[in-house]
Structure 1
Amino acid sequence: MAFEKQKAELSPAQKAERSISKQFRRKLWSPFVSAIKEYQLIQPNDKIAVCISGGKDSMLLAKMMQMLKRYSDFPFELIYLVMDPGYNAANRKRIEENAARLEIPLTIFETDIFAVADTMEHSPCYICARMRRGHLYNKAKELGCNKIALGHHFSDVIETTVMSMFYASQMQAMLPKLHSQNFPGMTLIRPLYKIHEDDIIAWMRANELQFIQCACRFTERNAVSENEIFESKRKEVKEIIRRLKRDNPGIEKSIFHSIHSVRIETFPGYKADGKMHSFLEKFDADSESFDEK
């Protein structure tokens, strides 16, 4: 009886945390901690801007980073950073209400990115994405951060890898962390790297949470946008992977493991540091021989 009373008195934030550490421990908390350790995403005394877009991925990221800080053996700082690029009132309110419900203290700053991108005749979605990333880095650096954390997850990694092969004619993956080229001293980290999107959705539904989707003015007004074309390709890849899983349930793990064990000597060409290379560069000089595959 006392247990039931204690359970009933849990706040929405406590329930969300409890579900992460109990019900979804194997699917959310364990892979989250595993990614941070394996890829060395957080070091002592880091100051990390956890970037919140208002969607399910970034909100879960913020809550788990908050929990990690509480349980961590070493000190690091967190700022829960929200950039308002020109959200409508309803979306801005939804972000603030969800953060309050999950007890995440937001630092919000405003920009006019949606308005600027909306005036662009060509590639407004690409320009918007570039501007958003630049503003986030800028604000994080201004606040004394040395890292920004984004909510890209396992499914993003797999889909990006397949999409690059199918639609960009290249093999390109998504790294769990990388140095910023334009903001020296800043590092981008992806702590959800090992977490499946389906498990994030399951956690969201279990906690009866509703998050914003795409909040862009351009896609609100236009029937077919650049972003929608991109998302249609992503949906197509999701469906391909879903069909492949019916015959091979481990297909996603295979794709994920393949980007961790690339045999570069078997590729006729590759690009490194912005320069194209051919297997012929080493072919004649190589004394080793490889079995034909």
Structure 2
Amino acid sequence: MKSIEEIEKSLQKKFRKELFTPFIHALKEFNMVQEGDRIAVAVSGGKDSLLLSKLFQELKRISDVNFEVFFISMNPGFSTMNLENMKSNLKNMGIDCEIYDDNVFEIAKKMSDLRNSKKPCYMCARLRRGSLYTKATSLGCNKLALGHHMDDVVETTMMSMLYMGKFETMLPKLKADNFDIELIRPLFYIEEKNIKRFMKHNEIYAMNCGCEVASGIIESKRREIKELIASLEEKDKDIKKRIMQSVFNVNIEKILAFKYKKDKISVYDNYTVIINKEGK
């Protein structure tokens, strides 16, 4: 791995356009960082959360906005090798991160076994999110930052249509249902390929999922969508960006029905929907 100074310089110079600029774009467009915020950055040990941590460090260094940032990492049951690898990366990248234990892998496996499910990943994700919310609120944080990037948004949008029969996407920020905290996704406009380039350039070897249950297997449906998008990009390099644009350009006059909260509304109904700027 390159030195902390070299890593930070590459973020400021070589990868500024591909990483720091879209990071700032998302923060400004969706008003993610405000005066007085206490932001917990969730660090999984993967490439996305490591980049997110360095971006927040750079933001803290240059920003005029007064906010606090905390780096937290849950050990859900990593192997000794994975845990030591993560600790080494954090130290060598200059990320002061609090690691706490919460045996999510084992709990997710037991719950999946009880339900005869062969897919513990969904259960694991929910348990991890709840654990991170709890930890963040215990630190007095009002926001939790996750490392989902543009490819995650595009893939989720496609999966909802092709496998779930509905159109929905991964939101850049949202209020937690059961916690007084807001979730933000500052990598919303950053492409995964550029994160990989940053990692390779700086010789950072981040771990993947680290799950002892799924053994690093990518969810099959998401893998299929990744492959589909990659094949479409061979013919049209901008296909991913246009899918991304579609989530901002839903024309309700040209669809048969839509849902708002618990209500399903048909375009052929006589209806009036009033939504103010706060979405109430």
What is the TM-score with the length of structure 2 in the denominator? 0.91
Q: Deviation at 1:86? A: 1.1
Aligned to 2:275: none
1:169 partnered with 2:160: no
Aligned to 1:6: none
**1:216 pairs with 193, 211, 221, which one?**
211
**Cα deviation digits, residues 217-275 of structure 1 (max 9, x gap):** 2113xxxxxx94x6222222122212222222211111111111211221111121133
Q: Residue type of the partner of 1:177?
A: K
Q: Deviation at 1:108? A: 1.3
**Cα deviation digits, residues 52-109 of structure 1 (max 9, x gap):** 0010000000010011011001110011000111111111111110010110001111
Q: Residue type of the partner of 1:198?
A: K
Q: Is the 8 A contact 2:2 2:203 kept in 1?
A: no
Aligned to 1:58: 49
Q: Deviation at 1:190? A: 0.4
Q: Which moved more, 1:273-282 or 1:83-92?
A: 273-282
**2:144 pairs with 144, 148, 159, which one?**
148
Aligned to 1:5: none
Aligned to 2:278: none
Q: Which moved more, 1:191-200 or 1:253-262?
A: 253-262
Q: Is the 8 A contact 2:121 2:214 kept in 1?
A: no
CA distance in 1, matches of 2:72, 2:179: 17
Q: Residue type of the partner of 2:221?
A: K
Q: Deviation at 1:15? A: 1.0
Q: Residue type of the partner of 1:89?
A: T
**2:125 pairs with 125, 129, 143, which one?**
129
**2:182 pairs with 163, 182, 187, which one?**
187
1:204 partnered with 2:231: no
1:40 partnered with 2:64: no
Q: Residue type of the partner of 2:150?
A: F
**2:11 pairs with 10, 20, 25, which one?**
20
Q: Residue type of the partner of 2:268?
A: L
Aligned to 2:269: 281
Structure 2 regions of 5+ residues with no counterpart? 273-280
**2:224 pairs with 211, 219, 236, which one?**
236
CA distance in 2, matches of 1:173, 1:97: 35
**2:238 pairs with 250, 254, 265, which one?**
250
CA distance in 2, matches of 1:91, 1:11: 20
CA distance in 1, matches of 2:126, 2:100: 17
Number of residue-to-residue matches in the alignment: 268
Aligned to 1:91: 82
Name the structure where helix makes up a greater proportion of residues: 1
CA distance in 2, matches of 1:108, 1:247: 44
What is the TM-score with the length of structure 1 in the denominator? 0.87
3-state secondary structure, aligned to 2:265? strand
Q: Which moved more, 1:199-208 or 1:233-242?
A: 233-242
3-state secondary structure, aligned to 2:39? strand
**2:253 pairs with 260, 265, 270, which one?**
265
Equivalent residue runs for 1:66-85 within 5 Å: 66-85=57-76
Max Rg structure: 1
CA distance in 2, matches of 1:211, 1:201: 10
Q: Residue type of the partner of 2:209?
A: C
- Give me the CA root mean square deviation: 1.8
3-state secondary structure, aligned to 2:174? strand
CA distance in 2, matches of 1:282, 1:156: 37
